[in-house]
């Protein structure tokens, strides 16, 4: 269900439409799933984030903010990423829940005793079946098959943007749980820039 963007007349119009789509999308996030996700982030000894393509970029953004909030956070695939094990959490963002490179990662993490959280459009996907925690985000898939949301945006943009907003909201909830504010977090900001 994709609208043609031709009815809009400029960049500001497109931005307003995207913001409206996001407002609609985030209203559909299940509060219980969101709270369970924040709790999992809070209790994990180490948090590992993964995703492919733009979802992978959102995963890197989550790892960065988790580090700022005092978590031991790592991006899967980086050269300095340690091994995963019991007490750790692997967070995978995948709209389809079928990303072939991510499935073996989830299987290995489970094998090694880590918890797996999957944030996806498809709670009945392969990745979701491997997860101990699933967060279903509303949105539109790249293929537009069986979508409940209409979007003017290409491919998986609505999911990826909703994913970033969900991750940022989860960090805000984590900050609240830990009694952190932006000033205290800034002390962990990169300073070799």
Torsion of CA 11, 16, 17, 20, to 10 degrees: 160
Cβ 90 vs Cβ 109: under 8 Å = yes
- 24 included as an active-site residue: no
The torsion region of residue 87 among left (phi > 0), alpha (psi -120 to 50) and beta comes to left
Hey, is 43 helix, strand or coil? Answer: helix
Q: Which H or E element spans position 50? A: strand 47-51
From 39, 98, 150, 160, active-site residue: 160
| Side-chain-side CA neighbours of residue 64 (13 Å) | 11
Burial 45-81 (b: 16+ CB within 10 A, else e): ebbbbbbbebbbebbebbbbbbbbbebebbbbeeeee
In the block, which residue shows the tokens 């799933």?
Answer: 33
Q: Which sequence positions are flagged as catalytic?
A: 160
């Amino acid at each position: 269900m994709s609208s043609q963007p031709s009815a809009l007349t400029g960049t500001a119009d497109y931005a307003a439409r995207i913001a409206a789509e996001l407002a609609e999308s985030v209203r559909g996030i299940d509060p219980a799933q969101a709270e369970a996700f924040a709790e999992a982030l809070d209790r994990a000894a180490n948090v590992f984030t993964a995703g492919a393509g733009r979802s992978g970029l959102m995963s890197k953004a989550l790892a960065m903010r988790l580090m700022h909030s005092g978590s031991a956070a790592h991006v899967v695939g980086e050269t300095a990423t340690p091994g995963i094990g019991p007490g750790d959490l692997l967070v995978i963002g995948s709209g389809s829940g079928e990303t072939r490179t991510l499935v073996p990662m989830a299987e290995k993490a489970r094998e090694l005793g880590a918890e797996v959280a999957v944030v996806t459009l498809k709670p009945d996907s392969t990745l979701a079946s491997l997860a101990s925690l699933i967060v279903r985000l509303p949105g539109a898939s790249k293929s537009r098959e069986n979508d409940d949301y209409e979007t003017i945006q290409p491919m998986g943009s609505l999911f990826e943007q909703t994913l970033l907003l969900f991750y940022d909201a989860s960090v805000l909830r984590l900050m609240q749980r830990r009694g952190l504010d932006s000033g205290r977090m800034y002390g962990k900001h990169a300073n070799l820039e």
